[in-house]
Chains A and B, each alone.
Chain A
Amino acid sequence: MNALSRAFSLITGLDSELAEIIALSLRVSLSALLIATAAGLPLAALIGFRRFQGRSIVISILNSFMGLPPVVVGLVVYLLLSRSGPLGFMALLYTSSAMIIAQSILAFPIVASLSHAAISEVDPVIAQAARTLGATPAQTAMAVIREARYGIMVAVIAAFGRVMAEVGAILMVGGNIAGFTRVMTTTIVMETDKGNFELALALGIILIALSLLINLALHAVQKRGLAGAK
Chain B
Amino acid sequence: MLRFRISGIRKSYDGIEVLSGCTVDFAGPGVYALTGPNGCGKSTFLRICAMLEPPDAGEVVYSDDRGALPPSIRLMRRVTLVLPKVGLFNASVLRNAAYGLHLRGIKGREADDRAGHALELAGLARKRNQNALTLSSGEAQRLGIARALVIEPEVLFLDEPTASVDERNTALIEEIIQSLRREGKTIIVITTHDRHQAERLADISIVMKVGEITAQG
Residues of A within 8 A of B (CB): 123, 125-126, 128-136, 139, 143, 146-147, 225, 227-230
Q: Establish whether residues B134 and A230, one from each chain, have CB atoms under 8 Å apart when the complex forms.
A: yes
Q: Is B16 an interface residue (CB 8 A)?
A: no
Cβ of A136: which chain B residues have Cβ within 8 Å of it? 73, 103
Question: Given that A128-B52, A139-B103 are contacting pairs, would A134 and B87 also be in contact in the complex, using a CB cutoff of 8 Å?
Answer: no
Q: Is B76 an interface residue (CB 8 A)?
A: yes
A interface SS class? helix
Instruction: Give the distance in Å from the alpha carbon of A90 to the alpha carbon of B104 in the complex.
Output: 48
Segment among B4-12, B77-85, B119-127, B200-208 that sits at the interface with chain A: B77-85
B49-102 at interface with A (beta carbon < 8 Å) = 50, 52, 73, 76-77, 80-83, 85-91, 99-100
Instruction: Give the distance in Å from the alpha carbon of A122 to the alpha carbon of B144 in the complex.
Output: 18
> Contact partner of B133 among A128, A129, A131, A228, CB < 8 A?
A228
Specify the chain B residue showing the minimal Cβ separation from A146.
B89
Question: Given that A227-B131, A230-B133 are contacting pairs, would A132 and B81 also be in contact in the complex, using a CB cutoff of 8 Å?
Answer: yes
Q: Establish whether residues B80 and A132, one from each chain, have CB atoms under 8 Å apart when the complex forms.
A: yes
Q: Establish whether residues B85 and A134, one from each chain, have CB atoms under 8 Å apart when the complex forms.
A: no
Q: Establish whether residues A134 and B151, one from each chain, have CB atoms under 8 Å apart when the complex forms.
A: yes
> Contact partner of A129 among B76, B77, B86, B91, CB < 8 A?
B86
Shortest CB distance B124–A (Å): 16
Chain B residues within 8 Å of chain A by Cβ, number:
28
Cβ of A135: which chain B residues have Cβ within 8 Å of it? 103
> Contact partner of B87 among A125, A225, A227, CB < 8 A?
A125
Q: Establish whether residues B89 and A147, one from each chain, have CB atoms under 8 Å apart when the complex forms.
A: yes
Cβ of B189: which chain A residues have Cβ within 8 Å of it? none
Residues of B within 8 A of A (CB): 50, 52, 73, 76-77, 80-83, 85-91, 99-100, 103-104, 131-134, 144, 147-148, 151
Cβ of A133: which chain B residues have Cβ within 8 Å of it? 80, 99-100, 103, 147-148, 151
Instruction: Give the distance in Å from the alpha carbon of A228 to the alpha carbon of B50 in the complex.
Output: 30
Q: Establish whether residues B52 and A132, one from each chain, have CB atoms under 8 Å apart when the complex forms.
A: yes
Cβ of B87: which chain A residues have Cβ within 8 Å of it? 123, 125-126, 128-130
Cβ of B81: which chain A residues have Cβ within 8 Å of it? 132
Shortest CB distance A58–B (Å): 28
Q: Establish whether residues A134 and B76, one from each chain, have CB atoms under 8 Å apart when the complex forms.
A: yes
Instruction: Give the distance in Å from the alpha carbon of A230 to the alpha carbon of B140 in the complex.
Output: 12
Cβ of A225: which chain B residues have Cβ within 8 Å of it? 90
Cβ of A129: which chain B residues have Cβ within 8 Å of it? 83, 86-89, 144
> Contact partner of B89 among A126, A128, A132, A134, CB < 8 A?
A126
Cβ of B134: which chain A residues have Cβ within 8 Å of it? 228, 230
Q: Establish whether residues B83 and A132, one from each chain, have CB atoms under 8 Å apart when the complex forms.
A: yes
Shortest CB distance A135–B (Å): 5
Cβ of A132: which chain B residues have Cβ within 8 Å of it? 50, 52, 80-83, 148
Cβ of A147: which chain B residues have Cβ within 8 Å of it? 89-90
Instruction: Give the distance in Å from the alpha carbon of A125 to the alpha carbon of B91 in the complex.
Output: 15
Question: Given that A133-B147, A134-B103 are contacting pairs, would A143 and B89 also be in contact in the complex, using a CB cutoff of 8 Å?
Answer: yes
Can you list 7 pairs linking A and B with CB atoms under 8 Å apart?
A123-B87, A125-B87, A129-B87, A131-B52, A132-B82, A132-B83, A230-B134
Closest A-B pairs by Cβ, 7 of them: A129-B87, A125-B87, A134-B77, A228-B133, A133-B100, A132-B81, A228-B90
Q: Establish whether residues A134 and B104, one from each chain, have CB atoms under 8 Å apart when the complex forms.
A: yes
Cβ of A227: which chain B residues have Cβ within 8 Å of it? 131
Cβ of B147: which chain A residues have Cβ within 8 Å of it? 133
Shortest CB distance A77–B (Å): 39
Cβ of B144: which chain A residues have Cβ within 8 Å of it? 129
Shortest CB distance B22–A (Å): 20
Instruction: Give the distance in Å from the alpha carbon of A124 to the alpha carbon of B87 in the complex.
Output: 9
Shortest CB distance A221–B (Å): 13
Q: Establish whether residues B131 and A128, one from each chain, have CB atoms under 8 Å apart when the complex forms.
A: no
Shortest CB distance A17–B (Å): 46
Instruction: Give the distance in Å from the alpha carbon of A227 to the alpha carbon of B134 in the complex.
Output: 9
Q: Establish whether residues B131 and A228, one from each chain, have CB atoms under 8 Å apart when the complex forms.
A: yes
Specify the chain B residue showing the minimal Cβ separation from A133.
B100
